[in-house]
Amino acid sequence: MKKFTRIAIANRGEVAVRIIKACEELGIETVLLHSEADINTRAYRMATKTICVGPAATAESYLNIPANINGALAGGAQAVHPGFGFLSENADFAEAVNKAGLTFIGPSPEAIRALGDKVHCKELAKQAGLPLVPGYQGENQDVAHLITQAEKIGYPVIVKAAAGGGGRGMKLLKSSVEAHELIESAQREAQSAFGSPKVFLEKYLDRAKHIEFQVFGDSTGNVQHFFDRECSVQRRHQKIIEEATSPSLTDDLRRRMGEAACAIATLGKYKGAGTVEFLLQDGEFYLLEVNTRLQVEHPVTEEVLGVDLVKMQILTAQGDFVHDNKQIRAPKGHSIECRIYAENPFLGGVPSTGLLGHVEWPEGPGRRYEYGFDSGDTITPYYDPMIAKVIVWDENRPRAIQKMIRVLKDSVVFGVHTNIPYLIEILSHKEFVMGTMTTRFIETYFSESLKEPALTEIEKTVAAGALLQLRGGAGETAKASASPWASYWRGI
């Protein structure tokens, strides 16, 4: 049986921090494989050792397979944890890691090819008789051919990256007029984010809920599911609020979807953490895709079940994790996660980069924060603008919603704009409170930009005081209104 003493992390941001913490609890050292742009981030400071694998461009650093493997070997690691995104679902990377004498912390290359590639996964699901959304998963990637297939399916049609997830490389085609430009755009984004331009098409279900099941294959190949999450609150096809468990499932539906999730994972001979995603509409569910990695929203599952999925991943890769059915209990209470993005909610969510002057997350029972930046760090324009995840737990869903609103109002992010005001508006909407939202919830009820609130006299006084502190004295007061710092208070 393997026992790791040092693990390399081929990723960045909050997920790198999360993996470092799990390794520390297991007494394992870490090697952070980072880009030139991620020096002086939280993960960089926390890792036992750091090795730069390339410049800011992802193709030359986080997606560079030889650079990451050479970095792991040079750092003295025995294993590589890929986190999520980047190379986490790249079968070639997993295979190269294993050939280099390292252990890939995740499913086998064969399982990634069978399930992680969205096209191959659907072929496997067909064999298993699982319900699928109508679409096209062929090898012909010529844009004209894809447009023909979209017209056969019937608009609206959604284009997705075959090797990706997280909303990257995803475009909604409403008619043939815009199809050519959007398909090409999806292919370029898929190449940039996942190293492959391959896409596939699906009929867009316009009243669906997005439900997913956490699955986990232990060291013996026994697959269990760890119940469900609902991720229907999405903007531009990217999740921004997730919760466990879903408020939309009956006991019977939960049982049938959980069985389907385990069936597809078992067919793929799955080991480690994975997620089976479904669309649910009019009481019928359809397999969407399988994510062969840790999921951004995994904390809500951990909160309602009291498990540590990252530790379980590492122990499974060592060959010493086996499911104890007595420990897989029913979910307790309710958990909600909000993704905090560095963006301006008053200007259509445009990215907001720059220095984080001050960051403070309010502590208290049932509150959890996962973040990759501290006060004094800089949000760069090179990567996903998510800077943190806020997770709450409480006895039931209404109390969890109220706790999340309170926590967001008390959180302080000073220096860049964030989507916190947008999240509070969503959480307060009656349809979210009732749990009846679909994937078109935001599109239906919210505009791209929030109306910017007027300043109160107290806020003006606080902002002026903060400016004085930042600029180093009262003599700067007269310059404050013209300073670029003048907008920083809105990030509070």
- Cα 445 to Cα 426: distance, rounded to the nearest angstrom: 9
The predicted model gives 295-324 an average pLDDT of 96
Residue 443, number of CB atoms within 10 A of its CB: 15
Is domain 6-105 classified as CATH 3.40.50.1110? no
Tokens of 404: 């999340």
The predicted model gives 8-33 an average pLDDT of 98
Residue 487's pLDDT is 37
Question: Which residues are part of the catalytic machinery?
Answer: 293
pLDDT tens figures, 360-398: 999 999 999 999 999 999 999 999 899 999 999 999 999
Q: How confident is the model at residue 475 (pLDDT cuts 50, 70, 90)?
A: very low
Q: Whole-prediction pTM value?
A: 0.86
Mean pLDDT, the chain, integer = 90
| Strands (E) located in 312-421 | 334-341, 343-344, 350-351, 354-355, 358-360, 367-371, 378-379, 386-394, 412-414
Is the pLDDT at 474 greater than 50? The verdict is no
Is the pLDDT at 172 greater than 50? The verdict is yes
The predicted model gives 428-450 an average pLDDT of 92
Residue 118's pLDDT is 76
Is domain 209-446 classified as CATH 3.30.470.20? yes
Q: What proportion of the chain, given as a percentage, has pLDDT over 70?
A: 93
> Is residue 122 left, alpha or beta, with left meaning phi > 0 and alpha meaning psi from -120 to 50?
alpha
The predicted model gives 409-417 an average pLDDT of 96
The predicted model gives 327-338 an average pLDDT of 91
Is the pLDDT at 238 greater than 70? The verdict is yes
H or E stretch covering 66: helix 65-74
Q: Within the chain, which residue ranges are assigned CATH 3.40.50.20?
A: 6-105
Q: Within the chain, which residue ranges are assigned CATH 3.30.1490.20?
A: 135-203
Is the pLDDT at 310 greater than 50? The verdict is yes
Is the pLDDT at 486 greater than 70? The verdict is no
Q: How confident is the model at residue 470 (pLDDT cuts 50, 70, 90)?
A: low
Residue 480's pLDDT is 39
Burial class (CB in 10 A: 0-12, 13-18, 19+), 378: middle
The predicted model gives 58-79 an average pLDDT of 97
pLDDT tens figures, 36-50: 999 989 999 999 999
Q: How confident is the model at residue 166 (pLDDT cuts 50, 70, 90)?
A: low
Is the pLDDT at 145 greater than 60? The verdict is yes
Residue 327, number of CB atoms within 10 A of its CB: 9
pLDDT tens figures, 69-88: 999 999 999 999 999 999 99
> Is residue 376 left, alpha or beta, with left meaning phi > 0 and alpha meaning psi from -120 to 50?
left
With tokens 């809920």, the residue in question is: 209
Is the pLDDT at 163 greater than 80? The verdict is no
Q: What is the CA radius of gyration of the chain?
A: 22
Numbers of helices and strands, H then E, in the chain: 16, 23
The predicted model gives 284-291 an average pLDDT of 92
Q: How confident is the model at residue 467 (pLDDT cuts 50, 70, 90)?
A: low
Is the pLDDT at 188 greater than 70? The verdict is yes
Check the CA dihedral 335-360-420-342 and report its sign: negative
Residue 478's pLDDT is 40
The predicted model gives 262-283 an average pLDDT of 94
The predicted model gives 122-146 an average pLDDT of 88
- Cα 211 to Cα 438: distance, rounded to the nearest angstrom: 10
Question: Higher model confidence: residue 457 or residue 473?
Answer: 457
- Cα 400 to Cα 423: distance, rounded to the nearest angstrom: 14
Most trustworthy range by pLDDT among 91-95, 165-169, 475-479, 481-485: 91-95
The predicted model gives 298-323 an average pLDDT of 97
Q: How confident is the model at residue 484 (pLDDT cuts 50, 70, 90)?
A: very low
| Cβ pair 442, 233 in contact under 8 A | yes
Q: Within the chain, which residue ranges are assigned CATH 3.30.470.20?
A: 209-446
Is the pLDDT at 453 greater than 60? The verdict is yes
Is the pLDDT at 150 greater than 90? The verdict is yes
The predicted model gives 195-205 an average pLDDT of 89
Q: Which CATH number fits domain 135-203: 3.40.50.300, 3.30.1490.20, 3.50.50.60, 3.20.20.70?
A: 3.30.1490.20
| Cβ pair 331, 17 in contact under 8 A | no
